[in-house]
Structure 1
Amino acid sequence: MRRIGLISDTHGLLRPAAVEFLRGCEHIIHAGDIGGGALLAALAALAPVTAVRGNNDREAEIAGLPETIQLEVGPVRLYVLHDLKQLAITPTALGVNVVVSGHSHRPLVEEREGVLYVNPGSAGRRRFKLPIGVGELLIDGHEVMPRVVELDG
């Protein structure tokens, strides 16, 4: 079983509870609005990191990150972007099994047309009354078990 950590919308704040949750992951995906290279470096101390640029990621050290990225974890194909409303592909046509996004600060785990959509929510500063969260994908062969966890603010 492979454990992939999911985090988004940190906006420069890496909470100790998020670090603790992500500890032991094989890989970490950051779905944008990172808030600086130092945060990515801190995550990389835990596990290899794949990150996409969010609409607020303008710092020179991360401005060159891609807006979308595809990666494979065994037989499972993931597509990562910041804002789900910007999804410009048909996941099923590309064989994508999981779409990971951020931006809304709202946790989401939903299946549509056989594709799993996961947003871990925001792990940064609280926005309005939305929860603080992180997530994970547990991957066993072709089976993907998503989980989004609310952290104490």
Structure 2
Amino acid sequence: MRIGLIADTHNLLRPEALAALQGVDHLIHAGDIGGPHILEELGRIAPLSVVRGNNDQEAWAEAIPERLTLRFGAISLHVRHDLKQLDIDPAAQGIDAVIAGHSHKPLHEMRDGVLYLNPGSAGPRRFKLPIGVGLLHIDGDQFRAELITLQV
């Protein structure tokens, strides 16, 4: 199973991001979406799970949760826009990976047996940070992450 990871689109869904996410089995948007049309477009690719970012404050985003815990087979994921607002102990709760956005900075790091992932920003460039998305490859109880820098 392949899970596509995207964050911080800020109302800009680049064709390069859409191309990189084609063929995934599920998509996760880690917040700062920008508008409902972004979710509609992503929903055409695969089933979509979404958390609200700090900039998703308009009425269209009111029903979007601030955090999600998802399970794909044996793998448990926790999604939160801003890692600094993480209010659980992922290792103690059996979470395999935490997915976040907010910083626009790609992250792929193990902490206490939990993988922390930020696919980076797929929307407007911030500072000199790369534009990117991610993939999570799940096979039974094994998984691996891939961060993809988009050439834009």
Calculate the TM-score normalised by the size of structure 2: 0.98
Distance in 2, matches of 1:35 and 1:52, equals 12
Give per-residue Cα distances to partners, 1:38-88, cap 9 Å, x unaligned.
100000000000000000001211222100000100000000000001111
Pair 1:103-2:102 in alignment: yes
Distance in 2, matches of 1:62 and 1:148, equals 27
C-alpha displacement of 1:134? 0.2
Pair 1:65-2:64 in alignment: yes
What residue in structure 2 maps to residue 139 of structure 1?
138
Pair 1:20-2:6 in alignment: no
RMSD across aligned positions (CA): 0.6
What residue in structure 1 maps to residue 37 of structure 2?
38
C-alpha displacement of 1:90? 0.3
The one-letter code sitting in structure 2 at the alignment partner of 1:72 is: R
Distance in 1, matches of 2:82 and 2:142, equals 25
Pair 1:124-2:115 in alignment: no
Distance in 1, matches of 2:54 and 2:141, equals 32
Give per-residue Cα distances to partners, 1:108-137, cap 9 Å, x unaligned.
000111100000000000011010000010
Query: Which ranges of structure 1 fall in alignment gaps of 5 or more residues?
Result: none
Aligned to 2:4, the other structure's residue is in SS state strand
What residue in structure 1 maps to residue 80 of structure 2?
81
Query: Which ranges of structure 2 fall in alignment gaps of 5 or more residues?
Result: none
The runs of at least 4 aligned residues of structure 1 exceeding 6 Å deviation read: none
Distance in 2, matches of 1:107 and 1:141, equals 26
C-alpha displacement of 1:94? 1.0
Distance in 2, matches of 1:94 and 1:88, equals 12
Aligned to 1:130, the other structure's residue is in SS state coil
Calculate the TM-score normalised by the size of structure 1: 0.98
Distance in 1, matches of 2:23 and 2:92, equals 33
Identity of aligned residues (%): 57
Distance in 2, matches of 1:127 and 1:113, equals 30
